Structure 1
Amino acid sequence: MTSPAPAARTFRVGIAGCGAISRNHLEAFTALDNVWIVGVCDVDPDRASATAKSWGVPHAVTSVDELLALDLDIVSVCTPHPTHEDVVLRAAAAGVNVLCEKPIATTLESAERMVAACEDAGVQLGVLFQRRFWPASQKIRTAIDDGTLGKAIMAQCSVMLHRDPDYYNRDAWRGTWENDGGGVLMSQAVHQVDLLQWYLGDVAEVYGKVNTYRHGDYIEVEDSATAVITFTSGAMATLEASTAVSPNLGIQLRITGETGASASLTEFPEGSDGRLDLWAVGERIVVEPVHPEGVEPNVDLSVINGQLIPFHKLQVKDFVEALETGTEPAITGKDALKSLRILLAVYESSRTGQPVRFAAEQPTHAAIPELRGREKVAR
């Protein structure tokens, strides 16, 4: 007689933070049959209660400890950037797996403590970079791996976005070094920095500049940045990012591989499904318009977040499946450390006027004189 298949495990989930992005997490976990959201947490009791009522969640609490006391398997971290560490360390101490919003933290030391705590506790730490789950993003990764593009050797990334004063003023924590940890790099371009390091590999050196051109009356962080990034493979990339653009021009990331082929990934309007607007392989070039006619360029944050829900769902599903199978999720805390290290190096380079070295790059075909001079070595 064949034994019945074991019942699928039901994962008990808590949502820490009921701000704007929590909707994406609530939608994503609710879509899974083997997940039960048992509690939400927010320092504002009214917001916690309203969220619980809207989503049919049985418990609304105001502290992380109360949330963890609900016998959770997973806590989803949707709190402001600098508070991520406290939630993650408490979760790890309680033996609870963590799925954390980007950026993982605002300092390298904080992020490293988070990764170490989860490793020591034997729990998984995943970090949200849902744009990796776009079909177009996946196609570029596959083209690198299967030799269509081959090893990526050059990249150009442009993150030219619009933010109005209300974006910064509606939440007191936005736009400050203490509470936001940075500006366009930390809050927006971190997604594209993640894609760059996913495609091009480990970083050897970062040289960058930041400035505030448009929003200086109400923020203290940068609204614009540029960087030149060299990778240990010898590959090179340029990055430009700004929230001082009007109208919003969206995001483009072009990758050129060692075969000579190129692909360009575009997100316009911001938050929409990224698409391949350029596919130049062999003798054929396929081009799509970057800015289709009739599309509203300046999109509200709620619309941006809403359009990303399908890809939050894919990453949340991946995270839960990793817990089921005992494997690592697609994007781990260690992966998120890489993008944080890069953007923090842009800040450091801008402050010192010097490149920030991570590791030695591999020799290239052409001999290049050593001109770097004094440099700070990044951990």
Structure 2
Amino acid sequence: MTLRTGLIGLGMMGRHHARVMRGIEGTELVAVADAMGDAHGVAEELPLFETVDQLIDFGVDAVVCAVPTGMHEEVGLKLASAGVHTMVEKPIAHSVEAGERLATAFNERGLIGAVGHIERFNPALQELRRRIDAGQLGEVYQVATRRQGPFPSRIADVGVVKDLATHDIDLTAWLNRTKYAEINAKVVRITGREHEDMVVAVGQLENGVIVNHTVNWLSAVKERTTVVTGQNGVFIADTLTADLTFYENGEVRSTWQPVENFRGVTEGDVIRYAFPKQEPLKTEHEAFRDAILGKENTHVSMTEGLETLRVAEGMLEASSVK
């Protein structure tokens, strides 16, 4: 069976979806849509529609929705009503209430509703989760993330919390196989828009792990780092390069005073792991396909996406930003 797939939203992210969708085995990208046209030349030989209704009428089994966040609910509900499996870009919707309506619509119809939290599919984080599950780190104490970079002019309808911090919320809960118990945050607005540009958050998961997130789009340096500290050492995952490094707790005693001053009284092994590195977007699409076919459920469900949005809104509430 070959799944007929469609794409709505041909902006910066949509063009990458189209590129990857053309190469997903067992699927065929048959049409695309965008009310604003095709600025990046994504359609090529495919039919180009203006509305989701036209895309549905053309006949599709599954659709990727890469329209602005504020349109997720409207487009998603139409796709659910038509019986079309859908993956919406993160966050699931502009508000928790809208996300609840979306998740309910897909769940009630027995459809696969997925959310594009792509960081879960980064090979460094997938390898990190495998090693945490295997007990290499022992008890996990803390997860700290840093997600910084220049301002993305393409983002207009949400702030840095819903656009970027949702990545860190999702991956942190996923790595630890649990939910957030509490979250506190401080935000600032620098660019003059109504939305926040920087957030620093601290919280705790239900299993007791403490977390902190530093996220902004004000930095001249782009950084995507996840640091997990535990009983046996520290993992550092760089999702820009998909590298994973393990700093083992020290066991070798140092008697060289100058070195001890810089590195501590003991030293442990430092290992950068080698493992297969497939493009995360391709892995994400394969997970969406497999969920539709009933093979595996490694996609990010709308229920999970909704929980991530709840935590994001909790950050904003804690910082008194509505």
TM-score (norm: length of structure 2): 0.86
- The CA distance in 2 between the partners of 1:92 and 1:242, in whole Å, is 34
Count of aligned pairs between the two proteins:
301
Q: Does 1:86 align with 2:63?
A: no
Q: Does 1:250 align with 2:219?
A: no
Contact 2:187/2:196 (<8 A) preserved: yes
Q: Does 1:318 align with 2:274?
A: no
Unaligned runs of 5+ in 2: 252-267
AA partner of residue 251 (structure 1): R
Alignment of 1:21-60 (within 5 A): 21-45=13-37, 47=39, 50-52=41-43, 54=44, 56-57=45-46, 59-60=47-48
2:115 to 108, 120, 127: 127
AA partner of residue 313 (structure 1): K
Aligned to 1:285: 269
Contact 1:28/1:309 (<8 A) preserved: no
AA partner of residue 204 (structure 1): A
Contact 1:27/1:309 (<8 A) preserved: no
Alignment RMSD? 2.3
**Residues 107-146 of structure 1: CA distance to partner in whole angstroms, max 9, x if unpaired?**
1111111111001111101111222222211121112211
**Residues 78-130 of structure 1: CA distance to partner in whole angstroms, max 9, x if unpaired?**
10011011111111100000011111112111111111100111110111122
- The CA distance in 1 between the partners of 2:196 and 2:223, in whole Å, is 18
Unaligned runs of 5+ in 1: 1-8, 289-307, 353-379
AA partner of residue 213 (structure 2): L
**Residues 1-26 of structure 1: CA distance to partner in whole angstroms, max 9, x if unpaired?**
xxxxxxxx111111111111112211
- The CA distance in 1 between the partners of 2:115 and 2:31, in whole Å, is 20
Q: Does 1:160 align with 2:142?
A: no
Q: Does 1:145 align with 2:98?
A: no
1:344 to 304, 309, 313: 313
- Secondary structure, counterpart of 1:33 in structure 2: coil
Contact 2:180/2:205 (<8 A) preserved: yes
Alignment of 1:196-207 (within 5 A): 196-200=172-176, 201-207=178-184
Identify if the C-alpha distance between structure 1 residues 309 and 99 changes in structure 2 by more than 3 Å, giving closer, same or farther. Answer: farther
1:260 to 232, 244, 248: 232
Alignment of 1:163-242 (within 5 A): 163=151, 167-168=152-153, 171=154, 174-175=155-156, 180-181=157-158, 183-200=159-176, 201-213=178-190, 215-216=191-192, 219-242=193-216
1:335 deviation in Å? 1.6
- The CA distance in 2 between the partners of 1:236 and 1:208, in whole Å, is 14
Identify if the C-alpha distance between structure 1 residues 12 and 281 changes in structure 2 by more than 3 Å, giving closer, same or farther. Answer: farther
Q: Percent identity?
A: 27
1:76 deviation in Å? 0.6
TM-score (norm: length of structure 1): 0.74
Aligned to 1:110: 98
**Residues 45-85 of structure 1: CA distance to partner in whole angstroms, max 9, x if unpaired?**
4549x432x2x21x211111111112210011010011011
Aligned to 2:84: 96
- The CA distance in 2 between the partners of 1:61 and 1:249, in whole Å, is 36
